[in-house]
Amino acid sequence: MKMDLSRFDVRLATTDEEVRAAQHLRYRVFVEEMGATVPPEDAALKIERDRFDPYFDHLLLIDRAAAEDDPARVIGVYRLLRGAVAKAGPGFYGAGEFDLTPLLELDRETVELGRSCVAQEFRAGSAMLLLWNGVSRYVRDHGIEVMFGTASFPGTDPAPLAEALSHLHHAHLAPPDIRVRAQPDHGIDMNLMPAAQVNAGRAMRATPALIKAYLRLGGFVGEGAYVDHGFNTIDVCLLMDTERMVAKYRDFYSRD
């Protein structure tokens, strides 16, 4: 799909109605498409939300061609929680899946990225790139040095994903100073195959596009994966350190 980029706006939500529109989109993607479960009262409203939403900044991709009062005008979302906000209030969402101690001990500003999704009809265009441009501005404006968040493989059975998960473990494991680890209650080892038996090309073809994109930017993964039965996914923790990023992408995240 070729997108008329002037038709779209990327900015943070400023009203409760805009946050609710983001939650509607998340319901369409995570519940209706991916099979996540939500409480009955949220299903009745067709929204996906949690207790962390009030603390996150919600980055929106807005279709200006849609009516002002149409929730479907929000066609892409990201939610962002700065370390300074998390430490003063709710903590990080990802702490429920990963031991984030290495990040909490950093004397550097961090941001947790999550709930990234784009409406199905816009996924073949530049929607995600537009959202990333918004993230880059956010990172620059807040002096953020480390970005992290969970990203998902569909399904909860690790067996079909053994090669992909093993490749992440052998080729993209985070350095020790930022290496978070999956919580033991639903954590699984990603080292499911010896490195010599992993076909990197085949493994990457089985890896979701969002994870591959972060790896191309110079990202890493934490140790172990987390089986999230509520969202019907297997999650890895992606981490990006601006000091370690490939130079051209570091420039992307710091440019005006």
Q: Which domain holds residue 170?
A: 5-254
pLDDT at 180: 97
Average pLDDT score, the chain:
91
List 62's β-bridge partners, or say none: 9, 74
pLDDT at 4: 63
Judge whether residue 26 has pLDDT over 60: yes
pLDDT at 1: 46
Judge whether residue 9 has pLDDT over 90: yes
* CATH code for position 203: 3.40.630.30
pLDDT digits (tens, 9 = 90+) for 94-111: 999 999 999 999 999 999
Q: How far apart are CA 8 and CA 41, in angstroms?
A: 32
Mean pLDDT, residues 120-129: 85
Give, in order, the Cα–Cα distances in Å from 36 to each of 23, 33, 99. Answer: 13, 8, 23
pLDDT digits (tens, 9 = 90+) for 184-242: 999 999 999 999 999 999 999 999 988 998 898 889 999 999 999 999 999 999 999 98
pLDDT at 3: 56
pLDDT digits (tens, 9 = 90+) for 156-184: 999 999 999 999 999 999 999 999 999 99
Find the length of the chain. Answer: 256
Region at 152 (left for phi over 0; alpha for psi -120 to 50; beta for the rest):
beta
Give the pTM. 0.89
Q: How many domains does the structure of the chain reveal?
A: 1
Tokens of 152: 């998902």
Judge whether residue 134 has pLDDT over 60: yes
